[in-house]
Amino acid sequence: MADVEKLQGELSELLLVEDPDAGLAWAEETLKGDIGVTDFFNLVFTPAMAAVGDKFGRMEIFLPELMDAADRAKRISEEVLQPMMAASDSDQELIRGKIVMASVKGDLHDIGKNMVVLMLRVNGFEVFDMGVDVAPRDILDKAKEVEADIVGLSSLMTTSMPYMKECVELRNGFGLKGNFSVIVGGAPITAEYTAEIGADSFGKNAVEAVERCLALLDRPAIE
Amino acid sequence: MKNSPIYDYMLSVLDKAEHGPVVDENDWDFNYINRTIKDLVKKYDIQWDAEVMVPADDDLADRLFEAGMELAREVGVYCLDTKRQMKWSQEELDYILSTAPKEEVLGLGEDKVTVRHRLPDEDSPITTIGGPYGTPVAEELFVPIMVSYAQESILDYIDNATLVSTHGRPIKAGSPWEAVGCWQEAQLSFEVLERVGRQGMPIGCAEDSPSAIGELATTTYGGFRLTDWHHASFISELKVAYAELTKSIHYQHTGAFSHNFYNTIYGGYVGGAEGLAVAIVAGVILMKATLNGTTFNPGPSHAHLSCNTFPAMIPSLSLGFQAISRNTKLMTSSFPRPVGGPCTKTLLYESAAMAVATVPAGISILEGIQSAAGRITNHVTGLEAKFLAQVGRASVGLTRSEANELVQHIIPLYADQQNLGEAIQGVPFEEAYDVETIQPLPEWQGMYEETCREMEALLGLTL
Ligand code: B12
C-alpha cells in the first residue's frame, strides 16, 4: 500500500508552488501506482488540502495563497480525479453536496463567510456563493433553482440575525423544509440561537462548518 | 445658487461610483489589491526586523507613504453597489488632502473637545474616547454601561454600544426597526450625558445603523447633534457601499462631524504585516477622498482572531500612523480591539501595548475599547477605557525608540494568551461592576490597580 502520509506531504507542498500544473502532473503520475482514485481522494487529496488550511490557520500563508491552492486542488479534482472516477465503476461521487451560502440581508461582513465557502469547496462541496446583503427570498429562490442540499447563512451582527430567522420561517412556510437544511454561523451565533430559530445546524468556524455539513448529509467525517 | 468647491467635489465622488470602469469583485481582491500591494512592498522596500514593534525610521515611513499613495492613485475604491472602480488623479487627491484641517472642535459649551494633528515623537496632548463601539448590550444595561465610561473625567468623550433590542424587539438592519433603534440609542445617550452632567460632550454614533436608515433618521431635530461624532466606513479591501456614501453626503449637507474607519485584514488579500501597512496608508487617504471625514481610524483586523493587538500587526499600524502624520495633516485615531475581555489582565496588557506603540507615532485620538473583540454581549466596562487613556496620556512625550523597547516588554505578557478563546473572554458588565452604583467590583478594581502598578514599574511611566 502506498505511503499516504508521504503523498499527503508532497501534495500539500505542490499546492503551494507557483506552477499551476505541477500538482496535476504529480497526481496523474501517483495514480499510476498502487493507490486507487477513491483512496487517493479520501486519504491524500482531502487531508493535503486540510493541511494547507491549517497553515492559513497559523498564518504561515495568507488568504490569497490559500485560495490559489484551492484553485489548484479544484483542477486536480476536475481534470484528473473526476474523469477517473467516471471511468471506474466506483459509486462514490466527488461532489459531496450542493450548498448555497450568503451573508444575510443588512450584513456586509464577508471575511468569515468567504473562509467557510473556501473550506467547503476544497472539501468537495459545490458551493454557490451569493455574496453579502442577500434577501431571504433570493436565497430561497437560489436554493430551489440549484436544488441545494444545504443553505448556509452568515451573520456578524445582532441587527442582521433576524434575517436568519426569516429565512428559516420562509423555508418552512413555503413547505420547503424537506428540501434542504439550514446551517448558520458567524461571531454572535450560538447553538441556543440556532435551536431557537429552528435552523438545523451551526458551526463555530470553517472547519466545524465542513464537519456539520457532512453530518447534515449523513456523510462520514474527514480524518 | 453656485455650489461650493467642496460640494462639487463630493458630487464628483458620487459620479465616480456611477461611471467608473466595471470590475469583477474577485478580480478586485486578487489583482487590484493583492498583486498591486505585493509589487508596492517590493518597489518601495517596505520591511523591518521582526522584533521591531515601533519602527523609528523616517525614511521608511515616507517610503510607506509613497507606496500607500501609489495604491490610492492607481487602484482607488470599489463601489459594491455599482461594481465600479472609483479612481482619483494625483491632482484630485492633493486637492482633497489640502482641505483637511489641522485641528477641529467637537461638542458644545463647557464640554467642547479639541482634536489636533500631531507629529511622531511630539509631546502635545492626545484626545481620548471611551465606549463599547458597537459591542451589543442589553437595553436595560445601555445607560449604566455608558455611564461607566462617561463618568471618567480622563475620557474626553464617549462612543456608543449597539442595542441588542429596541423596546423588546430585534433591531433589523434596513427596516423601520433600525430607525426605532437609533432613536432609542440617541435618547438613552442624552440620558447618560445628563446623569454625569456633561450634556455638551460629543457622542460617537449611531451604532445601530448598519444601513444608512438609522443615521439619516436620527441626525436631525431632537436626535444626534451635528457636534457629535458620526460614522461612515469602508469595507475591506478598499470598498465602499451606497449606504456609506449616503451617510457622507448627508454629513456634507448638514455639517455633521464625520469619523471614517476601515478594517483592513491581516492575513487577507493585503497579505502580511508589510502589505497591511501599505493598505492602512492607502485606506486613510482614500477615506478622506471618498467619505471626506475629519478623523480616521484604519483598524486593522486579524483574519482569525478579529483583534488588532496581535504582535505582528502592531508595527504595521505604528508605521502607518507615522507615514500619514509626517506627510499629511490628517488626524488619525488608534483603537485597540483586544482578544481579552473585562476582568482579564490580557485585555489590559493588549491595550497598553497599543497605546504605547501608537501615541508616539503621531496619532490624534486614542479610543476604545472593543473588549473581547467587540462581539460578546455586555462584555465591556468603562474601567478598561480609563486604563487605556491613562497609559496613552502617560506615553505622550515618549520617542518612538523608547516606545519600541517598552512595547517589547509588554508583548510577552499577552502573546501566548491570544489563542485561548473563551478562556479570556472575561465577564459581562453585571459581573464586573455594581450596576446600581456603577462602580467596579473589588475583583476588577483590584486587577486594574495591580496592573497599573505593574505597568508603572515595567515602563517607568506614571499613570
Ligand atoms: C472586520 C469587521 C468589519 C469590516 C468588514 C469587512 C468585511 N469585508 O467583512 C467593516 C469595517 C466593513 C465593518 C463594518 C461594520 N461593522 Co463590523 N466588524 C468587523 C470585525 C472587527 C471582524 C469580523 C471578521 O471578519 N472576523 C474574522 C472572521 C474570520 O471571523 P467570523 O466572521 O466570525 O467568521 C468565522 C466564524 O464565525 C464562522 N462563520 C462565519 N460565517 C459562517 C457561516 C456558517 C454557515 C458557518 C457554519 C460558520 C460561519 O467561520 C468563520 C471562520 O472561522 C467584527 C468584530 C468581531 N469580533 O467579529 C466587527 C463587528 C461584527 N462589526 C460590527 C458593526 C457594528 C459594524 C458596523 C455597523 C459599524 C458601523 N457603525 O458602521 C458596520 C456594518 C456594515 C454592515 N452593514 O454589515 C459589530 C456588530 C455588533 C452587533 N450588532 O452585533 C462587531 C461585532 C464589532 C463591534 N463591536 O462594533 N466591520
Write the DSSP string, B269-287: TT-SHHHHHHHHHHHHHHH
Residues A102 and A68 in one domain: no
Asked whether the predicted pLDDT for residue A136 surpasses 50, the reply is yes
Q: What is the structure's pLDDT at A223? A: 46
Distance from CA of A182 to the nearest CA of B (A): 20
Reported as a single tens digit per residue, the pLDDT across B134-178 is: 999 999 999 999 999 999 999 999 999 999 999 999 999 999 999
Give the end of a domain, one of A87, A113, A133: A87
Rg (alpha carbons) of chain A, rounded to whole number: 18
Of A160, A181, A200, A201, the active-site residue reads: A160
Asked whether the predicted pLDDT for residue A167 surpasses 50, the reply is yes
* Interface contact flag, A187 B375, Cβ < 8 Å: yes
Binding-site residues on chain B for chain A (CB distance < 8 A): 25, 29-30, 34, 80, 136, 162, 164, 170-174, 178, 181, 208, 210-211, 235-236, 241, 265-269, 271-272, 301, 303-304, 306, 312, 373, 375, 377
| Complex ipTM value | 0.86
Reported as a single tens digit per residue, the pLDDT across B63-96 is: 999 999 999 999 999 999 999 999 999 999 999 9
Q: CA dist B84 to B19, B29, B70, Å?
A: 7, 13, 19
d(CA B421, CA B340): 9
Q: Which atom of ligand 1 is found nearest the CA of A208?
A: 47
For residues A171, A175, A178 and A184, what is the CA-based torsion angle, rounded to 10 degrees? Answer: 10
Average pLDDT of chain B, as a whole number: 97
Residue B438 lies in a domain: yes
A45 touches chain B (CB under 8 A): no
* Interface contact flag, B173 A159, Cβ < 8 Å: yes
Domain holding B216, by residue range, is 103-459
Residues A183 and A79 in one domain: no
Share of residues in chain A with pLDDT > 70 (%): 95
Residues A70 and A149 in one domain: no
Residue A221 lies in a domain: no
Banded model confidence at residue A82, pLDDT cuts 50, 70, 90: confident
Residue B231 lies in a domain: yes
Q: Taking a C-beta distance cutoff of 8 angstroms, is the pair A165, A197 a contact?
A: yes
Residue B66 lies in a domain: no
Residues A43 and A151 in one domain: no
Banded model confidence at residue A1, pLDDT cuts 50, 70, 90: low
Whose CA is closest to atom 17 on ligand 1? Answer: A109
Identity of the residue numbered B340: G
Residue A182 lies in a domain: yes
Q: Could you give the number of structural domains in chain A?
A: 2
Residue A101 lies in a domain: yes
Q: Measuring from each residue's beta carbon to the nearest atom of ligand 1, which residues come in under 6 Å? A: A 106-113, 115-116, 152-154, 156-159, 183-188, 203, 205-206, 209; B 133-136, 162, 207, 210, 231, 233, 235-236, 263, 301, 303-304, 306, 370, 373-375
Reported as a single tens digit per residue, the pLDDT across B377-422 is: 999 999 999 999 999 999 999 999 999 999 999 999 999 999 888 8
Chain B: residue whose CA lies nearest to A205: B304
Residues A117 and A189 in one domain: yes
Tell which wins on pLDDT, A115 or B61: B61
Q: Which atom of ligand 1 is found nearest the CA of A186?
A: 37
Q: What is the structure's pLDDT at A96? A: 81
Residue A24 lies in a domain: yes
Residues A128 and A75 in one domain: no
Residues A53 and A108 in one domain: no
Which CATH number fits the domain that encloses residue A41?
1.10.1240.10
Asked whether the predicted pLDDT for residue B193 surpasses 80, the reply is yes
Residue A223 lies in a domain: no
* Interface contact flag, B210 A161, Cβ < 8 Å: no
Q: List B163's β-bridge partners, or say none.
A: B137
Nearest to A209 by CA among A126, A142, A112: A112
For the segment B35-57, the average pLDDT, to the nearest whole number, is: 97
Which CATH number fits the domain that encloses residue A156?
3.40.50.280
Give A103 Cα–ligand 1 centroid separation in angstroms: 10
Give the end of a domain, one of A87, A117, A143: A87
* Interface contact flag, B30 A67, Cβ < 8 Å: yes
Residue B82 lies in a domain: no
Residue B203 lies in a domain: yes
Identity of the residue numbered B27: D
Distance from CA of B215 to the nearest CA of A (A): 14
Nearest to B394 by CA among B168, B138, B185, B125: B125
Residues A30 and A113 in one domain: no
Reported as a single tens digit per residue, the pLDDT across A88-126 is: 755 566 678 999 999 999 999 998 998 899 888 878 889
Tell which wins on pLDDT, A21 or B284: B284
Residues A124 and A69 in one domain: no
Residue A92 lies in a domain: no
Q: What is the structure's pLDDT at B287? A: 98
Reported as a single tens digit per residue, the pLDDT across B304-341 is: 999 999 999 999 999 999 999 999 999 999 999 999 99
Give the end of a domain, one of A87, A109, A124: A87
Share of residues in chain B with pLDDT > 70 (%): 100
Tell which wins on pLDDT, B295 or A58: B295
Residues A69 and A129 in one domain: no
Residue B37 lies in a domain: no
Residue B21 lies in a domain: no
Buried b (16+ CB within 10 A) or exposed e, B60-97: bbebbbbbbbbbbbebbbbbbeeebbbebeeebbeebb
Q: What is the structure's pLDDT at A42? A: 82
Q: Could you give the number of structural domains in chain B?
A: 1
Residue A104 lies in a domain: yes
Q: Is A54 designated active site? A: no
Q: Beta strands B113-116 and B103-106: pairing type?
A: antiparallel
d(CA B416, CA B196): 39
d(CA B294, CA B104): 8
Residue B70 lies in a domain: no
Domain holding A165, by residue range, is 97-216
Q: Is the dihedral of CA A92, A95, A98, A103 positive or negative?
A: positive
The verdict on whether omega for the bond into residue B350 sits within 30 degrees of 0, i.e. cis, is no
For the segment A12-22, the average pLDDT, to the nearest whole number, is: 87
Residue A222 lies in a domain: no
d(CA A30, CA A26): 6
Residues A30 and A62 in one domain: yes
Q: What is the structure's pLDDT at A89? A: 59
Average pLDDT of chain A, as a whole number: 90
